[in-house]
Structure 1
Amino acid sequence: MSLTELSQPPTESASSTTGTRPKICILTQYFPPEMGAPQARLSELGERLIDLGWDVEVLTALPNYPTGKVFEEFDPRQPHVHQVGRIRTVRVPLYTAKQGFTKRIRCYFSFVRGAKRYGPKLCQRPDLLFVESPPLFISYAAKYLAKRWKCPFVFNVSDLWPESAIRMGVVKPGLATKMAERLELATYRRATAITGQSDEIIASVRERCPQVQTQVITNGVDPSRFGPEHADDEARQLIGSEPGPIFIFAGLLGLAQGLNQILDLAKSLDASTPGRFVLVGDGPAREDLEKRIERESIDRVKIVPAQPRERIPALLASADVAIISLGMAIPGAVPSKIYEAMASSLPILLIADGEPMRRIEKSSCGLCVVPGDRKTLVAQFIRLANSPPLREQLGANGREAAEKVYNRNLIAKRLDKFLRDLLPVLHC
Structure 2
Amino acid sequence: MEEILIISNYYPPEKGAAANRIEQLALKLHQNDYTVSVICPLGNYPKGELFPEYKGKFSVTENRDNITVNRLWIYPSISKNLVVRIVSVLSFSLSLFFYLLFKKTPKKVVVQSPPLLLSFISVLVLSLKNKKVILNVSDLWPLAAIELNALKKDSLSHKFSLLLERYIYKRATLILGQSNEILAHVRSLFPNKNCLLYRNFPDHKVSRMELHTDESQPIRIFYAGLLGIAQGVYELCQNIDLKELDIEFHIFGDGAEKNQIEAFVSSQHENKIFFHGMLERKKLHERLRSLDIALVPLKTRIYGSVPSKIFEYGSLGFPILYFGGGEGENIVDENHLGWVASVGNYSDLNEKLKAISELGKSALDAKKNTVFSQSQEVFDLDKQMKSLIERDVF
Instruction: Provide the TM-score with structure 2 as the length reference.
Output: 0.92
- Is contact 1:223–1:402 with CA below 8 Å preserved after alignment? no
Q: Measure, in 2, the Cα distance between the counterparts of 1:77 and 1:121.
A: 20
Cα offset for 1:323?
A: 1.2
1:1-44 deviation per Cα after TM superposition (whole angstroms, max 9, x unaligned): xxxxxxxxxxxxxxxxxxxx321110111111111112111112
1:55 aligns with 2:35: yes
Q: Secondary structure at the match of 1:346?
A: coil
Aligned match of 1:352: 324
Counterparts of 2:216 and 2:93, CA distance in 1? 48
Aligned amino acid, residue 256 of structure 1 = A
**Which residue is 2:355 aligned to?**
383
Quick check: 1:200–1:331 contact (8 Å CA) kept in 2?
yes
Q: Which residue of 2 aligns with 1:326?
A: 298
SS across alignment from 1:215? strand
Structure 1 stretches lacking a partner, 5+ long: 1-20, 423-428
Residue number in structure 1 paired with 2:85? 104
Distance 1:138 1:89, change over 3 A: same
Q: 8 Å contact 1:226–1:340 — kept in the other structure?
A: no
Shift of 1:320: 1.0
- What letter corresponds to residue 186 of structure 1 in structure 2? Y
For structure 1, which segment, 403-412 or 274-283, has the greater mean C-alpha deviation from structure 2 after superposition?
403-412
Tell me how far 1:304 sits from its aligned partner.
Answer: 0.5
**SS state of the match for residue 164, structure 1?**
helix
Q: Which residue of 2 aligns with 1:87?
A: 67
Give SS of 2:54's match: coil
Greater fraction of residues in helix? 1
- Which of 223, 231, 248 aligns to 1:276? It is 248
Do 1:246 and 1:275's aligned partners in 2 also have CA atoms closer than 8 Å?
A: yes
Q: Which runs of 4+ in 1 moved over 6 A?
A: none
CA distance in 2, matches of 1:230, 1:120: 49
Given that 2:246 and 2:357 are in contact with CA atoms closer than 8 Å, whether structure 1 keeps it comes out as yes
> Within 5 Å, which residues of 2 pair with 1:7-86?
21-86=1-66
- 3-state DSSP of counterpart to 2:367: helix
1:394 aligns with 2:374: no
Deviation at 1:412, TM superposition (A): 2.1
Determine the C-alpha separation between the residues in 1 that align with 2:37 and 2:239: 45
> How many angstroms does 1:149 deviate by?
4.2
Measured in 1, the distance between the counterparts of 2:58 and 2:206 equals 35
Using a 3 Å threshold, how does the CA distance of structure 1 residues 25 and 196 change in structure 2: closer, same or farther? same
> Residues 317-374 of structure 1: CA distance to partner in whole angstroms, max 9, x if unpaired?
2101111111100111111111122122111111121111111001111111012322
Q: 1:362 matched to which residue of 2?
A: 334
User: In the alignment, residue 275 of structure 2 is paired with which amino acid?
Assistant: I
User: Where does 1:11-410 land on structure 2 (aligned, <5 Å)?
Assistant: 21-100=1-80, 101-119=82-100, 124-147=104-127, 149-173=129-153, 174-225=155-206, 228-229=209-210, 243-266=217-240, 268-271=241-244, 273-297=245-269, 299-387=271-359, 388-410=361-383
- 1:194/1:215 contact within 8 Å kept: yes
TM-score by length of 1: 0.85
Distance 2:393 2:230 in 1: 36
Cα gap change, 1:341/1:421 in structure 2, threshold over 3 Å: closer, same or farther? Answer: closer
Answer with 147-156 or 24-33: which moved more: 147-156
Letter in 2 for 1:171: L
CA RMSD of aligned residues (A): 2.3
In the alignment, the residues of structure 1 paired with residue 43 and residue 393 of structure 2 have an alpha-carbon distance, to the nearest angstrom, of 33
- More displaced stretch, 384-393 vs 127-136: 384-393
CA distance change for structure 1 residues 246 and 265 in 2, over 3 Å: closer, same or farther? farther
Post-superposition offset of 1:261: 4.6
C-alpha distance in 2, partners of 1:86/1:50?
Answer: 8
TM superposition shift of 1:162: 0.8
Amino acid at match of 1:42: I
Aligned residue-pair number: 391
1:234-279 per-residue CA deviation (whole Å, 9 max, x = no partner) reads xx9xxxx99421101111111111213532354x3333x2111100
- Secondary structure of 1:414's aligned partner: helix
Question: 1: distance between equivalents of 2:207 and 2:86?
Answer: 37
The answer as to whether partners of 1:80 and 1:91 remain within 8 angstroms in 2 is yes
SS at match of 2:28: helix
User: How far apart, in 2, do the equivalents of 1:102 and 1:329 lie?
Assistant: 28
SS in 1 for 2:52: coil
Partners of 2:298 and 2:207 lie apart in 1 by 23
Per-residue Cα deviation, 1:131-176 (whole angstroms, up to 9, x for no partner):
0011011133313441464312111111100111111111212121
Alpha-carbon contact 1:81-1:91 (below 8 Å) kept: yes
Q: Distance in 1 between matches of 2:216 and 2:280?
A: 23
